[in-house]
């Protein structure tokens, strides 16, 4: 009986090892090399597997989401709005044979709640660009106004219940993708709390990384016109 028990235990260990071997770990992404394959659930209850998108170009966007505990990254809200707008207006899907995937390292509930607050984030960005006259006496407010006007030139506004979602929102709740790519942090750029380094990858039809930007500061985000030039050059 003991021999039988040990044989069964050994077989289970071997099987678990084989299953683990079938799910290769996510590795850092290097230019000119394939992005690690992954499969994640989407906010609308579906799943997306990267290798299933072979034959199409892919843009992977990792927003910071929060700059501190319970502190929304309004810059991320602006980036989301800008990409959503240009993805549709610029016909990126057809023009560049492109799928855009937004990756959030949080649960469905947290992600859905954050997206619902994007309209408020866009209002905050407009207030940065247009502070009250009395606030301009503060040099920090004035300096940030100048930075914001340069970094966020467009005005985006959505109704509270009408935030566009023209591309899949992926849920990396276990953070296997974010950690594997070395993006997940508990403290970054002066803010404490669970967050990703804001990053963006462009993959070609074979899944090869042709462009990547790992942010060095929360303002380090590529504008859509810059991205269009990059895609025209590398895809």
Distance CA 32, CA 163 (A): 35
- The answer to whether residue 53 is domain-embedded is yes
Q: Which residue is it, tokens 């247009």? A: 130
In this structure, the dihedral spanned by the alpha carbons of residues 73, 76, 82 and 87, taken in order and rounded to 10 degrees, is -150
Residue 13 belongs to some domain of the structure: no
For the segment 35-44, what is each residue's pLDDT rounded down to a tens digit? 999 999 999 9
Q: Is pLDDT at 225 greater than 60 in this prediction?
A: yes
Residue-range definition of the domain harbouring residue 84: 26-234
pLDDT score at 112 = 96
Q: Which CATH number covers residue 87? A: 3.40.30.10
Beta strands 191-196; 199-203: pairing state: unpaired
Q: Tell me if 196 is assigned to some domain.
A: yes
Report the pLDDT value the prediction gives residue 143, as an integer from 0 to 100: 96
Per-residue pLDDT reduced to its tens digit, 89-118? 999 999 999 999 999 999 999 999 999 999
Residue 18 lies in a domain: no
Indicate whether 9 belongs to any domain: no
Residue 64 included in any domain: yes
- How many structural domains does the chain have? 1
Indicate whether 36 belongs to any domain: yes
Instruction: Evaluate whether residue 15 is within a structural domain.
Output: no
């Amino acid at each position: 009986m003991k021999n039988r028990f040990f044989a069964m235990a050994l077989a289970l260990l071997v099987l678990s090892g084989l299953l683990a071997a079938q799910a290769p770990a996510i590795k850092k992404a290097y230019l000119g090399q394939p992005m690690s394959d992954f499969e994640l659930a989407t906010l609308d209850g579906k799943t997306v597997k990267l290798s299933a998108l072979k034959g199409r170009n892919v843009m992977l966007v990792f927003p910071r989401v929060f700059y501190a505990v319970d502190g929304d990254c309004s810059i991320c809200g602006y980036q989301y709005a800008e990409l959503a707008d240009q993805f549709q207006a610029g016909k990126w899907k057809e023009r560049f044979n492109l799928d855009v995937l937004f990756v959030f390292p949080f649960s469905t509930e947290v992600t859905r709640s954050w997206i619902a607050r994007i309209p408020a984030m866009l209002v905050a960005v407009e207030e940065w660009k247009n502070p009250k006259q009395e606030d301009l006496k503060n040099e920090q407010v004035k300096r940030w106004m100048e930075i914001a006007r340069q970094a966020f030139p467009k005005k985006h506004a959505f109704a509270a219940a009408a935030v566009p979602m023209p591309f899949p929102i992926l849920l990396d709740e276990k953070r296997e993708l974010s950690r594997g790519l070395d993006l997940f942090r508990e403290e970054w750029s002066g803010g404490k709390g669970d967050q990703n380094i804001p990053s963006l990858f462009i993959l070609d039809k074979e899944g090869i990384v042709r462009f990547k930007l790992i942010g060095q500061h929360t303002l380090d985000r590529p504008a859509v016109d810059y991205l269009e030039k990059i895609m025209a050059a590398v895809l």
